[in-house]
Amino acid sequence: MDNSKLLIIKNSDNYLHHPHIEIDEMTVKPHQEQPQRVENIERAIIKSNLPVSFSEIHSYGEDIVKDIHTAELINSIKQISMDSDETEYNMPYVFGLTPVTERRSKEIKRVSYHCMDMGSPIGKYTYQTALLSASISYEGARRLIDGQKYIYGLCRPPGHHAENNVYGGYCYFNNAGVAANHFIKSGKSKVAILDVDYHHGNGTQRIFYDTDAVLYVSIHGDPDLEYPYYTGFDDETGSGKGLGANLNMPLPIGTDEERYLKALNRACEKILSFKPDVLILSLGLDTYKRDPICRFILEVETYEKIAKKIKSLNYPTLVLQEGGYCVPDLGKLAVSFFKGYLEDLLND
């Protein structure tokens, strides 16, 4: 165990999932969620000489997602992957809005039984890669339980939009959900998830909405105007035992560093009062001013400040990569974040 370093968990096969297009606002666009995203981050961190060590991991089996996702969702993603040729990607164009029956059409590639948008294509390797991404998160949770205090799971594809029975928003399995579930099963009694991705993590919220064992706190673009539109409002506070263990902080378009850091302070107070055993940080780098799908205006240096604040909470922390689409700048953003996060180690 070496807690003078950040442990970075990764898998080099993530490039196998490589959708080329998505449909957004009636337009076919190049897909934002590219393998170069994590390549750039990894390269920049290596070049930065920050105190890190890398661990390349292999896949765990499907069991790691079974507690948080339905068999129907898992099998549907698996089936569409298996039925796809090497270069073929599929997404539905028919979305059934009435509750679906047991009966499944043969055209599972065309009909949405579980998919929430037209930005999340499934290809031959999507199931495998999504499971690898979840495995990174699972391994991160295991290593943290073993005593490693600071871990960064370089997950790709991201996870926070994936619900128990739904995939979408470039997410297939909920990586943060896999880790939180493993923490709870391993005897941690309270887990806090702080989600700083630009988009509300509807999946993570939904999975833990009824439990008081997992606190979900999210700072994101106002869902009145931003994806995923149907959740992320501040009156969604949890239900049943989970009432009060869900905090949404939607922020307006144009949010700058000052406004953002104020919201972060409030988020951190909520986490402190929850007294978690561990923290999961869903780290989206898509709140950046040059991000192509973001309407906040955070600077490169803002990430260093965000990181210092989160580090000051002093919890064993599993940082998981979520969104972030300004590919050429992602490395800089991640380095800025971890420079702030590891600052005390640098001064030693």
DSSP secondary structure string for all residues of 48-116:
HT-SEEEEE-----THHHHTTS-HHHHHHHHHHHHTS-TT-EE--SEE--SPP-S---S-TTTEESSB-
User: Nearer Cβ to ligand Q9C, position 257 or 322?
Assistant: 322
Distance in angstroms between the alpha carbons of the first and the last residue of the chain: 18
Nearest to 182 by CA among 153, 223, 219, 217: 153
Task: Report the SS3 class of residue 318.
Answer: strand
DSSP secondary structure string for all residues of 116-165:
--SS--EETTHHHHHHHHHHHHHHHHHHHHTT--EEEE--SS--TT-BTT
171 touches which of Zn ion, ligand Q9C, none (CB within 5 to 8 A by kind)? Answer: ligand Q9C
Q: How far is the CB of 28 from ligand Q9C (least distance, A)?
A: 13
Q: Which of 242, 284, 316, 331 binds ligand Q9C (CB under 6 A)?
A: 284
User: Nearer Cβ to ligand Q9C, position 304 or 322?
Assistant: 322
Determine which one of 69, 114, 161, 182 is catalytic.
161
227 touches which of Zn ion, ligand Q9C, none (CB within 5 to 8 A by kind)? Answer: ligand Q9C
Q: How far is the CB of 32 from ligand Q9C (least distance, A)?
A: 7
35 touches which of Zn ion, ligand Q9C, none (CB within 5 to 8 A by kind)? Answer: none
Q: Which residues bind Zn ion (CB under 5 A)?
A: 197-199, 284, 286, 323
315 alpha-carbon distance from chain centroid: 19
Burial class of residue 49 in the structure, from the number of CB atoms within 10 Å of its CB (0-12 exposed, 13-18 middle, 19+ buried) = exposed
17: annotated active-site residue: no
Q: Which of 119, 221, 242, 250 binds ligand Q9C (CB under 6 A)?
A: 119
User: Nearer Cβ to ligand Q9C, position 42 or 322?
Assistant: 322
Q: Which of 69, 124, 182, 199 binds ligand Q9C (CB under 6 A)?
A: 199
Q: Is 296 an interacting residue with respect to ligand Q9C (CB under 6 A)?
A: no
Q: Is 163 an interacting residue with respect to ligand Q9C (CB under 6 A)?
A: no
* Cα separations in angstroms, 237 against 9, 194, 240: 32, 15, 10
**Helix H or strand E encompassing 317:** strand 317-321
> For residues 84 and 176, what is the distance between their CA atoms, to the nearest angstrom?
27
Stretch that binds ligand Q9C, among 154-162, 206-214, 308-316, 328-336 (CB under 6 A): 154-162
Size of the site for ligand Q9C (CB under 6 A): 17
> For residues 153 and 257, what is the distance between their CA atoms, to the nearest angstrom?
25
Contact criterion met (CB below 8 Å) for 200 and 223: yes
**Half-sphere exposure (Cβ direction) of 49: Cα atoms closer than 13 Å:** 1
Stretch that binds ligand Q9C, among 8-16, 157-165, 237-245, 294-302 (CB under 6 A): 157-165
User: Nearer Cβ to ligand Q9C, position 143 or 161?
Assistant: 161
Q: Is 158 an interacting residue with respect to ligand Q9C (CB under 6 A)?
A: yes
169 touches which of Zn ion, ligand Q9C, none (CB within 5 to 8 A by kind)? Answer: ligand Q9C
> For residues 185 and 135, what is the distance between their CA atoms, to the nearest angstrom?
16
Q: Is 232 an interacting residue with respect to ligand Q9C (CB under 6 A)?
A: no
Task: Report the SS3 class of residue 288.
Answer: strand
Stretch that binds ligand Q9C, among 68-76, 105-113, 165-173, 252-260 (CB under 6 A): 165-173
195 touches which of ligand Q9C, Zn ion, none (CB within 5 to 8 A by kind)? Answer: none
Q: Is 227 an interacting residue with respect to ligand Q9C (CB under 6 A)?
A: yes
When CB distances to ligand Q9C are compared, the closest residue is 323
List the structure tokens of 36.
Answer: 């170069």
Specify the pairing of strand 6-10 against strand 94-95: unpaired
Q: How far is the CB of 170 from ligand Q9C (least distance, A)?
A: 4
Catalytic residues, which ones? 161
Site residues (vs ligand Q9C, CB under 6 A)? 24-25, 119, 158, 160-161, 169-171, 197, 199, 227, 284, 286, 293, 322-323
